[in-house]
Structures are given as structure tokens and as C-alpha cells.
Amino acid sequence: MAEMEKTAAPAQEAPAAPVKKAPKPVSPGTAALRKVVSDVYAAAWEAKKAGRPVGWSSSKFPCEIAEALDLAVVYPENQAAGIGAQHDGERMCQAAEDMGYDADICGYARISLAYSAGVETTNESRRMPQPDFVLCCNNICNCMTKWYENIARMHNIPLIMIDVPYNNEVTVSDSQVAYIRGQFDDAIKQLEVIAGKKMDPARFEHACECANRTAKAWLKVCDYLQYKPAPMSGFDLFNHMADVVTARGKVETAEAFELLASELEEHVKNGTTTTPFPEQYRIMFEGIPCWPNLKALFKPLKANGVNVTAVVYAPAFGFVYDDLDSMARAYCKAPNSVCIEQGVDWREGICRDNKVDGVLVHYNRSCKPWSGYMAEMQRRFTEDLGIPCAGFDGDQADPRNFNEAQYLTRVQGLVEAMEQNAKNKAAKEG
């Protein structure tokens, strides 16, 4: 691949942002979680203004290292999701395609590469400073590898890579742990150079404690979906994921999730819920939401009383550890780097625990793993769980790959199948 010039394309001003409606009031827990994410972006701008280096990181790069070194880090995946949700994804994807990036690569990557090249977004809350270093861990996918390499070349900046090979077994071997631990140690050395200081072991320990506390609090929040009816909509969990992605290592994140958990506890005691409709059916939503089309996704679910009470992100970000080796082991467990047996096991576990009636599978055009193995996943869910499963085509960030009419038919079919399944079960038991 030809070397890219250090200078990015001339910055392009964003078109005027669409007029937004006044936001709905939210609970203190939700407000605290939103503030955590806003603060991450604000801290990056502050660091840039003060002349301190800013990093862009993949969502499951060990955040504890940068946290311990007081390095400001922002997350292109979260940025792209926000840009997609605010309907600026298509323009940004098109900008990347105009630069020569293929329409078949991840929508998050296209949005991020366009932004990295100087194309500004209309979503003001997701504007972030250009990077001085990039942190990439390919435990979530292999597209990251080239995506981050491209950013590093655009800006001529250090790329710190942690390679987590795909694991075809359920257990993580000692040699795999050693391979990853070695890369952690090397990443620490490289980041110490960037930060201009040695890492304080106490600060690192504190960052790990916060990350573990956040993971436990996140899992506690997710577990509330086991109640029937659930005290919240599973779609809310997708929004709260922004915190586990961007701020896992911060004590404020743990505290915010703990506050949310206490609110959910109250809802359970009072028999109330934040779900804006009576829950008639419970489903697992498999995959990343279609951020540009959230309204269209939600509409038929609401119309039919379908609550999302299971998502794989619950176990995916709920990992805890004691030391660097167990941390290395934990970072091997991203949904797309584990074998299909492990992935199915996680999902079927939450389907059972969270008492779902059906599964809605998003065949995500942007994501090769999250479309490639979906057919086999769906087949296994149907066979193992005995509940109806429906798939639909969509995209996490590029609205051109989603068709509302097609989605509506599939959701309606799923609802009818769940209704019939319930009648059949009742007839058998009766």
C-alpha cells in the first residue's frame, strides 16, 4: 500500500446540523452515565488544547494502561455509532468511499477514516481531536487492524497493536496468555514514552479496580432484565454501552452504573418499568443495533409489545480479573474472537436466564463476523432453545443497507410465530 502523506485532506466544514427536539427527562443514573461519556470527549479536547497527546482506541484495547498514565483516549467506534444515530453516517461513509475506501468495509471504519481525513461531522457531541497515537486490539474483529493502520499512516503517528488471535477452543491456553501478556508489557513501554512518564503500579492497580467494579456494576444492571416484566427496555442497554466502551476504567462509570442499578431495584420493588409499553413478548436482539434506524427498529417492537431482554453485550463486557495474566485472559473473550461454541453458549445462557420467547438476528452488512456466523447461530438457537428466530438485513452505521418494509415483515412474522409457539406450549402443558 502506498505511503500516505502526513497531512490530511483539507478540513471540510460540516453542513448545518438538523434541528433537534428537546430531550426527554432522564433518571439520575442515566444522566450520570451520559455525563461520563460527554466528559470523555471534553477531556480529550482539554488535553489537545493543553498540548498533551490524545489517543484513539478500539473498544476492547486494555483501557487500564492509558488510564493509569493519565492519557486522554477517545473511541472511534462510539463516535461512529453516535454519528450514525444522528443521521450523519451516510454522508461520512460516502466521503470515505469518495476517498477510495470500499463500500463493503465496516461503516464505523468508513466514518472514522473520513473523520480522520478531516471530514467534520454534524453531530457536535461526537467531534473529537485528531489523534497523536492509536491503540488497536483486534479481539473484536480483524477490520480494526487495517482501519487503525490507515489512521496511523494518515497522521504519521504511533500505532500500538495488540494482536489477539482467534481462539478455536473454549479455554484460553497459557501460551496464548503469554503472547498477549508480552504485548501488554510492550504496549506499556510504548505508552510510557508517549506519556513522558513511567507507569505508577498503584495507579494501574486503581484503574484495574475501577474497570472490574464497572464490569460488575454493568453485569448487575444487565441482570435486571431477568425480571418478568423487565424494569427497563433492553434498547436502553445499547445506549449505556457507550460507557463500558469509552470509560470502563473510571470510577465515575462504576458509580453511575451502581446508581442505575439502584433505580432498577426500586422499579422492581414498585412493579414499575421504564419500558414505554406493556411487555407481551421478550426477545434477544442479536448483534449491534442499526444506529441510523433506531426509530424504525423500535416501532414494530413497541407496537407488538416486544421488549429486548437479552443482548450478548452483557457477558461481553462483564469480565473481571486479578492480575496482568488474568487480564490478558479476559481480553481474549470478545464475542468475535471466541469459538462458535463459546459464543452460542453465552447467548443461549442469557436467553434462558432472561426468559426470551424469540430471537431477532441482525445480519449486519458492516460486520463480517456479525453477518457471517449469524446463519449458523440462528440455526443453533432454533434447535437448542425451541423458540422462533427471525433474521433481517441491516447495518450498524450505513442506512443504505436497511429496508424498513423488509424488517417490518420479519418482525411481524416473528411475533406471529411467538404467539403460535406460546399457544402450542400451553396446549401441551394443558
Partner 1 sequence: MAIYTLGIDVGSTASKCVILKDGKEIVAKSLIDVGAGTSGPDRAINQVLENAGLKREDMAYILATGYGRNSLEGFADKQMSELSCHARGAYFLFPEVHTVIDIGGQDVKVMHIENGAMVNFQMNDKCAAGTGRFLDVMARVLEVKVGDLGRLGALSTKKVAISSTCTVFAESEVISQLAQATDKCDIINGIHHSVAARVVGLAHRVGVQEMVVMTGGVAQNAGVVQALQEQLGHEVHTSPLTQYVGALGAALFAYQKASR
The site for partner 1, by CB under 8 A, has a size of 23
378 part of the interface to partner 1, by CB under 8 A: yes
Closer CB to partner 1, 171 or 406, in the complex? 406
107 part of the interface to partner 1, by CB under 8 A: no
Among 130, 226, 326, 412, binds partner 1 (CB under 8 A): 412
Closer CB to partner 1, 317 or 402, in the complex? 402
Least distance between partner 1 and beta carbon 251 (Å) = 44
Least distance between partner 1 and beta carbon 389 (Å) = 7
Among 110, 391, 395, 402, binds partner 1 (CB under 8 A): 391
Tell me the three cell numbers of residue 132: 497523536
Least distance between partner 1 and beta carbon 418 (Å) = 9
d(CA 97, CA 236) in angstroms, rounded, equals 32
The residue range among 145-153, 198-206, 308-316, 411-419 that interacts with partner 1, by the rule CB under 8 A, is: 411-419
d(CA 326, CA 321) in angstroms, rounded, equals 5
**Contacts with 243 (C-beta within 8 Å, 6 or more apart), sequence order:** 33, 36, 37, 214, 253, 256, 257
Instruction: Please report the sign of the dihedral spanned by the C-alpha atoms of residue 365, residue 353, residue 327, residue 72.
Output: positive
399 part of the interface to partner 1, by CB under 8 A: no
Among 390, 396, 397, 402, binds partner 1 (CB under 8 A): 390
For residues 307-366, which are near partner 1 according to CB under 8 A? Answer: 363
Element (DSSP H or E) covering residue 361:
strand 358-364
DSSP string of 19-85, one letter each residue: PPPPPPP--HHHHHHHHHHHHHHHHHHHHHHTT--EEEE-TTS-HHHHHHTT-EEE-HHHHHHHHHH
DSSP string of 390-408, one letter each residue: EEEEE-SS-GGG--HHHHH
The residue range among 129-137, 169-177, 304-312, 415-423 that interacts with partner 1, by the rule CB under 8 A, is: 415-423
What type of residue sits at position 170?
V
Among 80, 93, 164, 389, binds partner 1 (CB under 8 A): 389
d(CA 76, CA 83) in angstroms, rounded, equals 10
Least distance between partner 1 and beta carbon 91 (Å) = 24
User: Strand 133-137 vs strand 159-162: parallel, antiparallel, or unpaired?
Assistant: parallel
Least distance between partner 1 and beta carbon 417 (Å) = 6
User: Strand 306-310 vs strand 159-162: parallel, antiparallel, or unpaired?
Assistant: unpaired
Residues that bind partner 1 (CB under 8 A): 363, 375, 378-379, 382, 388-393, 405-406, 409-410, 412-413, 416-417, 420-421, 423-424
